[in-house]
Amino acid sequence: MSKVKVRALVYEDIPANRLIGLAGGGTVEDRDPSKIYLIPAREQNLPDFITKNELKAGEEVIISIDQDKVWEVEASEHIWAGTLVTTADDGKVQNFKRGLDYYIGFSLHEAQEGETVKFAHKHGIRLEAIIGTE
């Protein structure tokens, strides 16, 4: 099975044999939209990766993802690298935003509206979509 390899920046130290999450919007100050950022997975997060080795903040790493889990679809808007995405009108993909319940994966690179974006296919749901909000 072939693999897709992407570069990511470790945002916080992550010990070996841990679950890893993507550092989503609002997590990284002055975020570069062309970079993917990694953090230790937080409670209630769906993890995105695992690590076998210790990772240090500021280190650039290579992530391998099985090719069959990577989809390529036209972006309906500017998509940042390493951000959750969901379905948009006409079968395109958009950024996952407040008010949306489901996401379908996370982007592997930055893409502009009308370009295609590769994303790792991974379903998820916002907790509030299940339990509601007060």
Domain ranges in the chain are 3-66, 68-128
pLDDT at res. 19: 84
Q: Yes or no: say if 76 and 87 are a contact pair by the CB < 8 Å rule.
A: no
Closest by alpha carbon to 129, among 106, 96, 107?
96
Contact between 34 and 45 under an 8 Å Cβ cutoff? The reply is: no
Is pLDDT of 37 > 70?
A: yes
Tell me the pLDDT of the chain averaged across its residues.
88
Which stretch, 40-49, 103-112, 119-128, has highest mean pLDDT?
103-112
Give 46-82 pLDDT, tens digit per residue. Answer: 788 889 899 999 999 999 988 888 999 999 999 999 9
Secondary structure letter of residue 46 according to DSSP: P
pLDDT over 90 at 116, yes or no: yes
Handedness of CA 53, 70, 124, 22 (dihedral sign): positive
**Mean per-residue pLDDT, 9-23:** 91
Show the tokens assigned to 39: 């953090």
